[in-house]
Structure 1
């Protein structure tokens, strides 16, 4: 995979993928404001799937499980400007503002399409990626400008950006049933359910009477089988949308479990 990233600071980068695609299951530590220059991204979450392309601007909330698949498109690389809205910076921004009774916003992606104010703010960053010795306050001013614009164009945004709560202990069974398709370390699942890794494994065993890894594999294979039989999706799409790392491992695990390969199943269905 040919990947290039240029930074103004750690919180603002120009990201470019040249190859056919890049896929990752991830939980973002910070809110991410992203502007598409070219290419396409598919974001798969527990409750929805989003597709973003050239000109789109979107905000991904922190601590949210997502499968990210980046594609080049129309002969152009996957190229984006990415701005991290860190908790520390947001605390500073909201310190002197009279924002009361903020409640956690639904963990969804905010889509702003090609909004002129945000597009102008983010596109103005492009020349800085080619410069050296950029004054430190430039990035800070640009991030402050972006936050201010977000607050103007969507009045709900304070409920997300001004909420600094960390994940608390939540219903483990419900959370895992909703998010098992994301291929993340158990440490991430334990954090997002408000537990230490030891407590997570102990609680998991009491609820499901098996190990997390065995349960996750079983659930992912069951979802894959459903995707084939009910939706007749391609093996490559099912592989990446059900939490497997690569097609060969997925095909092997599927055949070992069911006795036939994904291709054999699809051939049978279509006959």
Structure 2
């Protein structure tokens, strides 16, 4: 189905944010293929921060723990077309097409240069969002197959990502949490991404850090914020979202409670 932002089940959707900003913590279940139409999206991950703007085309691999901050810009709302590649769709595609595995693929965000195939494809999708009824399933299938075919023509390594149907395995909890504590996810989601049930996640976390996940995460976020304020000379308004806090007042309260002085006193 095709849909707009409010549809939770659409495989092709138009994301539109007209507010000051929209923040979300994600670890997408499916690979997503997106074109930014207007506005700006910042993607914060453990090892890198990306900024995307109008005309940018990207492929977002599944299970990438990220903070997304979407902003209107230059008087325009944030708008993006997003296509989700579900395992069912991908398996159907690769039963009809020979997989070309390579060793060059990495499980990271891919940004693609302008290409006539990409321009034509995303332009063809825009009129669908004016439909009052759902997009016919046959057209959805055609457009998703077209998207995969285009990616295969411009990215020789893409099959190694899209045709990888392996399951998440249990990973080192200490390494994972040290890289991803700034993301606001439920304990269940942290457990899933480390290959554990909630009970096993809490048990293994206690063994690794000798405290609860909630206490450890807050402490780490505050320490990161303190570093950015004191060493990088950033402002509290620019720090609180990226370090995992939902609003500035809560950040300021927690910061002063932990350190004994407010974020603004550092400067």
Q: Provide the aligned C-alpha RMSD in A.
A: 1.7
Give every structure 1 segment of 4 or more consecutive aligned residues whose post-TM-superposition deviation is greater than 6 Å. none
Q: Distance in 2 between matches of 1:218 and 1:107?
A: 29
Q: Is the 8 A contact 1:28 1:62 kept in 2?
A: yes
C-alpha displacement of 1:101? 5.5
Q: Is the 8 A contact 1:44 1:241 kept in 2?
A: yes
Q: Please list the CA deviations of residues 6-29 of structure 1 after superposition, one character each: whole Å capped at 9, or x if unmatched.
A: 77x710111111111111111111
Q: Which residue of 1 aligns with 2:78?
A: 78
Q: Distance in 1 between matches of 2:264 and 2:245?
A: 16
Correspondence 1:206-225 to 2 at 5 A? 206-225=207-226
Q: Which residue of 2 aligns with 1:119?
A: 119
Q: What secondary structure does 2:241 align onto?
A: helix
Q: Distance in 1 between matches of 2:22 and 2:111?
A: 21
Q: What secondary structure does 1:141 align onto?
A: helix
Q: What secondary structure does 1:94 align onto?
A: helix
Correspondence 1:196-207 to 2 at 5 A? 196-207=197-208
Q: Distance in 1 between matches of 2:136 and 2:74?
A: 36
Q: Distance in 2 between matches of 1:255 and 1:188?
A: 29
Q: Is the 8 A contact 1:16 1:80 kept in 2?
A: yes
**Structure 2 runs not aligned, ≥5 long:** none
Q: What secondary structure does 2:147 align onto?
A: helix
Q: Please list the CA deviations of residues 77-114 of structure 1 after superposition, one character each: whole Å capped at 9, or x if unmatched.
A: 10111111111111111123332657794221000143
C-alpha displacement of 1:32? 1.0
Structure 1 pair 154–172 and aligned structure 2 pair: CA distance change class (3 A)? same
1:170 partnered with 2:171: yes
Q: What secondary structure does 1:160 align onto?
A: helix
Q: Which residue of 1 aligns with 2:28?
A: 28
Q: Is the 8 A contact 2:14 2:82 kept in 1?
A: yes
Structure 1 pair 245–123 and aligned structure 2 pair: CA distance change class (3 A)? same
C-alpha displacement of 1:168? 0.4
Q: Please list the CA deviations of residues 14-66 of structure 1 after superposition, one character each: whole Å capped at 9, or x if unmatched.
A: 11111111111111111111111111111111111111001111111110101
Stretch moving more, 100-109 or 23-32: 100-109
Q: Please list the CA deviations of residues 149-187 of structure 1 after superposition, one character each: whole Å capped at 9, or x if unmatched.
A: 001101111111000112100111111111111111111
Alignment length (residue pairs): 262
Stretch moving more, 115-124 or 249-258: 115-124
Q: Distance in 2 between matches of 1:207 and 1:65?
A: 21
Stretch moving more, 102-111 or 20-29: 102-111
Structure 1 pair 115–260 and aligned structure 2 pair: CA distance change class (3 A)? farther
Q: Which residue of 2 aligns with 1:227?
A: 228
Stretch moving more, 172-181 or 112-121: 112-121
1:56 partnered with 2:56: yes
1:106 partnered with 2:106: yes
Stretch moving more, 93-102 or 147-156: 93-102
Structure 1 pair 90–103 and aligned structure 2 pair: CA distance change class (3 A)? farther
Q: Distance in 1 between matches of 2:213 and 2:105?
A: 29
